[in-house]
Structure 1
Amino acid sequence: MLAGAYRHTDPALIDACRSDFEQLYAAGEDFSVFHARETEPLLRARCAEAAE
């Protein structure tokens, strides 16, 4: 059961929100590209520190 949620049924509001989500999704980058750039170098550094 949801607590404190609001249910919106206005089709115009729903369409506007859906459009916003679609634009955000389209602007996003592939996870593997993000991981290779941001996360992987940090993990490699931690593994190197742990091996010392």
Structure 2
Amino acid sequence: AAIVPEVDVPGGRLVVTPPAGLFEELPADDEPDESAADGGPEDESTEG
């Protein structure tokens, strides 16, 4: 997730919304991530 600041130059203000989990704990995730269910990202490297 990208952090996109809101800049108000005339007002002299910069507003940045932090990503989830930066200042508070995220709720427990009951379902595993899809990438974890299928073994994660596919490894396309080939070893000789």
- Coarse TM-score class (shorter-chain normalised): under 0.3
- Bigger RCO of structures 1 and 2 (CA < 8 A, at least 6 apart): 2
Greater helix percent: which structure?
A: 1
Q: Compute the TM-score of the two structures, normalised by the length of structure 1.
A: 0.24
Structure with greater Cα Rg: 1
TM-score (norm 2): 0.25
